[in-house]
Structure 1
């Protein structure tokens, strides 16, 4: 028993996606995929490809996908930051308990500069938030 393919497929790209239409299997039982639109998340643009004219259904599908994708990316970004906090804590533990002098020599300057940069930005942003409160 074959499960039918979805009618549309979004191939994720770094800055968006390409939307494919999957009209189904042909006589050779091959799945066909036709590119119908390029989606740019940074500029919020959709570009139909070739002679494609997007239907209202496809336009709505793309808008819904873009909204959902933005939510997923925002959640991932916060999750990445929370993971960074975990990594910083694990790095502190490593530096205190496992790192050799050679290990520390290799990473200390870059870590200190990165942490100083981050501390400067976070401190400035915290001050801005505190002074902009009504």
Structure 2
């Protein structure tokens, strides 16, 4: 059982994670998790728990987790956007083929405002990119 368990467990929180060291080699053969640190993802800060001093191995494992977690969150954000495009297409199809007048009336203003806001941001960002390309030429 010991070889199947990771040395560290990361309990994900909204702001980062609580980091636990996993121990199953005690005399009662019980699984114990000792909290050793808290990670703040926004700043990358690693806060040792209590009076604990983190070993270089602890810090390396935590930094690896932060890098992996950042990659996962970035991928999820991009996937959410790709799904939003699908939802916009499904919404257009629904509005054209299935929605009744009452349903359309209840969502039209909110959809138009959200689409206008998104369009404004996308047009501005594209203009900024194009201006940047022209500056480098």
With normalisation by structure 1, the TM-score equals 0.92
Deviations 1:9-56, CA, capped at 9 Å, x for gaps: 011111211100111165555321111100011011000011211001
Can you give the 5+ residue segments of structure 1 that lack an aligned partner in the other structure?
A: none
Residue in 2 that maps onto 1:43: 43
Secondary structure in structure 1 of the residue aligned to 2:42: coil
Bigger helix share: 2
Residue in 2 that maps onto 1:17: 17
Secondary structure in structure 1 of the residue aligned to 2:118: helix
Residue in 2 that maps onto 1:31: 31
Secondary structure in structure 2 of the residue aligned to 1:42: coil
Deviations 1:53-94, CA, capped at 9 Å, x for gaps: 100101000111111111111111111110100000000000
Shift of 1:107: 0.7
Residue in 2 that maps onto 1:59: 59
Give, in whole Å, the separation in 1 of the partners of 2:23 and 2:58: 14
* Runs of 4+ displaced beyond 4 Å: 25-29
With normalisation by structure 2, the TM-score equals 0.90
Residue in 2 that maps onto 1:123: 123
